């Protein structure tokens, strides 16, 4: 779905720096909303369930301005569509939008005609002032957060014992409930951003060194919700993909399953 309309004013509030911009002359605003879903079908090919996997919102702005180096540098912004002094236009706020394109179309004196495109991070109804609640998952070991965002995956190994009887047709099983034990492996994939690669490498080195401290509680946070796993120990970790000032880190923890 695409929506095109004009507004009186637009206010951009930067979320990663102290910067506010008022755009007084806006010729057009375009908001595009796209949803990606997953479907489950039965053996006859009929859809029996469908859910939303991802929603993509982009905001295009056409306006007259001077060349703004701060805006060109990119970043995240709250976009507030404002009415005029006489009440014309609409009032609406789209929070946590990333500037992904800045194009100068025409130039006259010190003013330029600009097209800027933003990508909305999180759901359409997220609140202004930062990342939408519940949209960023974090993991911490004790009091140490693992990167800027992270998620965990789990695998469980029981302690079952099998005994094959050589003179009979059968096998004796002793499950984990009888033998005790059991091991849970937790793998955390974290992503971190720094200003340059040198600082990024130093952060990862210090992070991995600080995790080898003994047993701690591993806490997974998602907005206001969280769950914890006690008595976890760090076993290994390392830097994976790196792209300029971003890096992915794979970290492994172990804990007793019981």
State residue 208's pLDDT score.
93
Please tell me whether residues 144 and 73 are part of one structural domain.
no
Please tell me whether residues 152 and 97 are part of one structural domain.
no
- 86: tokens are 């006489």
Tell me, yes or no, whether 248 lies in a domain: yes
State residue 188's pLDDT score.
96
> 148-191: per-residue pLDDT in tens?
999 999 999 988 888 888 877 788 888 888 888 889 999 999 99
When pLDDT is averaged across residues 1-7 and rounded to a whole number, the result is: 56
Please tell me whether residues 66 and 171 are part of one structural domain.
no
If one counts the domains in the chain, the total is 2
State residue 5's pLDDT score.
56
Report the alpha-carbon angle 69-74-78, nearest 5.
110
Tell me, yes or no, whether 127 lies in a domain: no
Please tell me whether residues 115 and 167 are part of one structural domain.
no
> 91-111: per-residue pLDDT in tens?
888 888 999 999 888 777 767
> 200-252: per-residue pLDDT in tens?
889 999 999 999 888 999 999 987 789 999 999 999 999 887 777 889 999 99
> 106-144: per-residue pLDDT in tens?
777 767 888 999 998 877 777 777 666 556 789 999 999
Of 87 and 70, the structure prediction assigns the larger pLDDT to: 70
Tell me the residue range of the domain where 61 lies.
2-120
- Residue ending a domain, choose from 75, 91, 120: 120
Ramachandran assignment for 147, one of left (phi > 0), alpha (psi -120 to 50 degrees), beta (any other): left
Give the percent of the chain with pLDDT over 70.
Answer: 91
State residue 134's pLDDT score.
57
Tell me, yes or no, whether 125 lies in a domain: no
Smallest CA-to-CA distance from 256 within 185, 187, 154 is with 185
State residue 233's pLDDT score.
96
State residue 141's pLDDT score.
95
State residue 125's pLDDT score.
73
State the number of CA atoms in the 13 A half-sphere of 254 facing the CB: 9
Please tell me whether residues 99 and 146 are part of one structural domain.
no
Tell me, yes or no, whether 105 lies in a domain: yes
Please tell me whether residues 93 and 154 are part of one structural domain.
no
State residue 1's pLDDT score.
53
Tell me, yes or no, whether 238 lies in a domain: yes
Please tell me whether residues 9 and 112 are part of one structural domain.
yes
First-to-last C-alpha distance (Å) of the chain? 50
Tell me, yes or no, whether 111 lies in a domain: yes
User: How many whole angstroms separate alpha carbon 216 and alpha carbon 145?
Assistant: 12
The pLDDT of residue 255 is above 80? yes
Please tell me whether residues 241 and 148 are part of one structural domain.
yes
Please tell me whether residues 113 and 143 are part of one structural domain.
no
CATH assignment at residue 169: 2.40.30.200
Q: Quick check: 59 and 118 in contact, CB under 8 A?
A: yes
Beta strands at 76-82 and 9-14: parallel, antiparallel or unpaired: antiparallel
- 182: tokens are 């059991």
Residue 35 confidence class, pLDDT cut points 50, 70, 90:
confident
Cα 228 to the chain's mean position, in Å? 20
DSSP state at residue 89: S
User: How many whole angstroms separate alpha carbon 239 and alpha carbon 191?
Assistant: 10
Please tell me whether residues 97 and 199 are part of one structural domain.
no
């Amino acid at each position: 779905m695409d929506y095109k309309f004009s507004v009186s004013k637009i206010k951009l509030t930067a979320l990663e720096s102290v910067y506010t911009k008022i755009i007084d002359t806006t010729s057009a605003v375009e908001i595009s909303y796209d949803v990606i879903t997953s479907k489950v079908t039965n053996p006859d090919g009929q859809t029996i369930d469908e859910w939303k996997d991802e929603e993509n919102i982009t905001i295009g702005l056409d306006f007259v301005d001077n060349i703004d180096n701060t805006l060109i540098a990119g970043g995240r912004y709250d976009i507030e569509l404002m009415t005029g002094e006489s009440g014309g236009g609409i009032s609406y706020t789209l929070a946590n939008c990333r500037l992904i394109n800045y194009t100068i179309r025409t130039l006259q004196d010190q003013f330029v005609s600009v097209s800027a495109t933003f990508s909305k991070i999180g759901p359409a109804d997220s609140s202004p002032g930062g990342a939408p609640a519940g949209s960023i998952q974090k993991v911490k070991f004790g009091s140490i957060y693992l990167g800027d965002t992270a998620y965990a995956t789990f695998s469980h190994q029981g302690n079952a014992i099998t005994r094959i009887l050589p003179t009979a047709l059968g096998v004796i099983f002793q499950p984990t409930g009888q033998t005790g034990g059991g091991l849970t492996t937790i793998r955390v994939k974290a992503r971190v951003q720094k200003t340059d690669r040198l600082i990024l490498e130093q952060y990862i080195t210090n992070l991995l060194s600080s995790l080898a401290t003994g047993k701690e509680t591993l806490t997974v946070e998602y907005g206001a919700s969280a769950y914890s796993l006690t008595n976890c120990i760090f076993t290994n970790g390392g830097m994976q993909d790196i792209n300029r000032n971003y890096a992915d880190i794979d970290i492994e923890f172990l804990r007793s399953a019981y």
